[in-house]
Amino acid sequence: MSAWAPGGAQRRALYLIDSLRAFGTGLLTIVFVVDARSHGMAAADIGVLSGASVVIGLAYTTLLSALSRRGGHGRGGPRTALVLSGCLMAATGVWLATVPSPTGIWLSAVFGFLPPSGGLFVAALVEGVLAHTPERHRSRTFGRSAALSTAAGAAGALTPLAAELAGLGPANLISTLLYTYAGAGLLMLLTSLLVRVDAGPGLDGPALVAGELAGSKPLVKRLALLFVLDSSGSGIAANTLVVYWLHADMGFSTGQLAVLMFAVDMLSAISAPLAVAVSKRAGLLRTAVFSHIPSSILLMAIPLAPGGAAAAALLLARALLVEMDVPTRQAYMSAVVAPEERQAAAAYVSRGKQLGRATGPLVGGFSFAEIGSGVFAVGGAVKIAYDLMLWRSFRTVKMQERVGAPDGMASSRGS
C-alpha cells in the first residue's frame, strides 16, 4: 500500500472534476462541429483545430503536472493545477460564445480544450492522484472513474437535444450551450478547491507526489511511445469526424446526433466496470488488448455500412467494448511503477497520448477530404497495430506490487 492515498471525499471530488471535463467534451463534440460548419469550415479545418488544441494542451500537461508535483499540504499542487484547468475550460466556452466567427473559433484552440481530446491534461492530473489508491482497490477506482466520466460525456452529448426540446431557436441554441459549457468549467474550478494532498504515515504527501521518473523511466517511455500510436489511431478516426460524417453525409440532425452520442457514451460507461469484472479472471493485459481489437474492427466496418442506421448500429456495438482498456491500462501502469513515480508517470504517458492526438486529427481531417469515411478503417488498423505491440512488449513485465506475476496484467487477483 502506498504511504499516501486519496480519501473518499477526495476521490469523489476527483471523480466530479473529470466528469465535468467529460461532460464538456461530450457537449462540445457536437456543438463545436455544428458551429464550425455554420461558419463554412470543412473537415480539414476541424482536424487542424483539434490538432492545434492538443499541441497546446501538451504544453499545459507539462506545466500543470510540474506544478502538481511541487504542491504542499492543501496549498498548490494538484489543487492549483486543477483550478487553472477549470479557468481554461470556462474561458473556452465564454470565448466561443462571445466571438462567434471563424477567427474566434481558430483562436479558441489556445485554451487546449477543443474536442475530441481537449482537456486531457485534466485527466492526467486526476489519474496521477488516483494512482495512489491502494492496490486492492485501484482497478475498481479507475473503473468507477471511467464509468462516471463516460456517463457524464453521454449527458453532455444529450444536452443539445434537451436545449432543442426546450424551444431554443437556432440563434440562441449554440450560444446557450457554449455558456453551459463555460458553467461546467466554473464548477470544475470550484470543485478543485476541495482537493488537497494529505500526509500519510511514514512519508509526507507532498514528498510522495513530488517524485520524478527514475527506475521506471524505460518502461514508462515504452508505454508512452505505444500510446502515441494508439492515440494517433483515435485521432485519425476522431469522434468529431464521425459526427461530421453523420451530419454532412448521412443527414443526421443535431437532435439525432445528440441521442446517438448519448447512447454511445452510456454503453461506453458500462464497458468500464465490465472490464474490471472480466480482468479478475482474464487478467488486466488480456482484457485491455483483446477487448480493444474487436472494437477497432467494428470501427473499420463503419465505411461498409449501407446507411445511417447501420453505421449507428456499428458505433453502438463498438461502444460496449471501447472503454474496457482504460481502467485496466491505468491500473497496470500504477502497479508497474514505484509509488513515488506514479504522478510523473501519468503525466509522461499523457504527453504520449496527446502527441498522438495532435497528429491524428491532422491526418484524419485531410484524409477525410480524399477518402471520406474510409479514414475510420485507417484509424482502426493503427489501433490494432498498437494492441498487438502492447501485448508483445508487456506480457512478461512484472508488477512492483506482485513481484513474480508472469505478466504485468495477467494476474489481477485482488485488483
C-alpha cell at 291: 477487448
Percent of the chain with pLDDT over 90: 16
Backbone CA torsion sign across 32, 37, 39, 41: positive
**DSSP label of 397:** P
Nearest to 141 by CA among 323, 26, 12: 12
pLDDT band of 72, cuts 50, 70, 90: very low
- Phi, then psi, of 145 in degrees rounded to 5: -60, -45
Alpha-carbon gap, residue 239 to 322, rounded angstroms: 13
C-alpha cell at 78: 494538484
Q: Tell me the CA distances in angstroms from 264 to 89, 232, 307, 325, one per residue in order.
A: 24, 21, 18, 16
Distance of CA 342 to the CA centre of its chain: 18
Q: What is the pLDDT of residue 167?
A: 75
Nearest to 373 by CA among 241, 178, 239, 181: 241
pLDDT band of 269, cuts 50, 70, 90: confident
Q: What is the pLDDT of residue 298?
A: 93
67: CB partners within 8 A, 6+ apart: 76, 77, 80, 81, 84
Mean pLDDT within 244-261: 83
Q: What is the pLDDT of residue 3?
A: 38
User: Contact 332/129 with Cβ under 8 angstroms?
Assistant: no
Alpha-carbon gap, residue 371 to 61, rounded angstroms: 33
Mean pLDDT of the chain: 78
Residue pLDDT, tens place only, 173-224: 888 899 999 999 999 999 998 877 543 333 333 333 444 566 667 777 888 8
Amino acid at 245: W
**DSSP label of 74:** S
Q: Tell me the CA distances in angstroms from 138 to 269, 279, 327, 332, 362, one per residue in order.
A: 17, 12, 9, 9, 35
Residue 294 has pLDDT above 50, yes or no: yes
Residue pLDDT, tens place only, 221-238: 888 888 888 888 887 887
Q: What is the pLDDT of residue 73?
A: 42
Identify the helix (H) or strand (E) that includes residue 53: helix 43-69
Q: Tell me the CA distances in angstroms from 192 to 125, 187, 333, one per residue in order.
A: 11, 8, 25
- Phi, then psi, of 203 in degrees rounded to 5: -160, 130
pLDDT band of 7, cuts 50, 70, 90: low
Q: Tell me the CA distances in angstroms from 360 to 44, 49, 121, 145, 375, one per residue in order.
A: 12, 12, 18, 26, 11
User: Contact 135/1 with Cβ under 8 angstroms?
Assistant: yes
User: Contact 70/76 with Cβ under 8 angstroms?
Assistant: yes
User: Contact 64/126 with Cβ under 8 angstroms?
Assistant: no
Q: What is the pLDDT of residue 135?
A: 72
The reported pTM is 0.69
Q: What is the pLDDT of residue 76?
A: 53
**DSSP label of 131:** T
Alpha-carbon gap, residue 157 to 149, rounded angstroms: 12
Alpha-carbon gap, residue 334 to 400, rounded angstroms: 9
Residue 70 has pLDDT above 70, yes or no: no
Q: What is the pLDDT of residue 90?
A: 95
Q: What is the pLDDT of residue 184?
A: 95
Residue 338 has pLDDT above 80, yes or no: no
- Of these ranges, 68-72, 128-132, 361-365, the one predicted with the greatest mean pLDDT is 128-132
Q: What is the pLDDT of residue 69?
A: 66
Percent of the chain with pLDDT over 70: 84
Residue pLDDT, tens place only, 88-103: 999 999 999 998 888 8
Q: What is the pLDDT of residue 201?
A: 34
Residue pLDDT, tens place only, 349-408: 777 777 777 677 667 777 777 777 788 888 899 999 999 998 888 877 766 554 334 344
Residue pLDDT, tens place only, 33-62: 888 888 888 777 877 887 788 788 878 877
Residue 16 has pLDDT above 70, yes or no: yes
Mean pLDDT within 141-169: 83
Longest dimension (CA), the chain: 62
Helix runs in 283-341, H state only: 284-301, 308-322, 325-336
Residue pLDDT, tens place only, 279-292: 888 888 888 888 88
pLDDT band of 346, cuts 50, 70, 90: confident
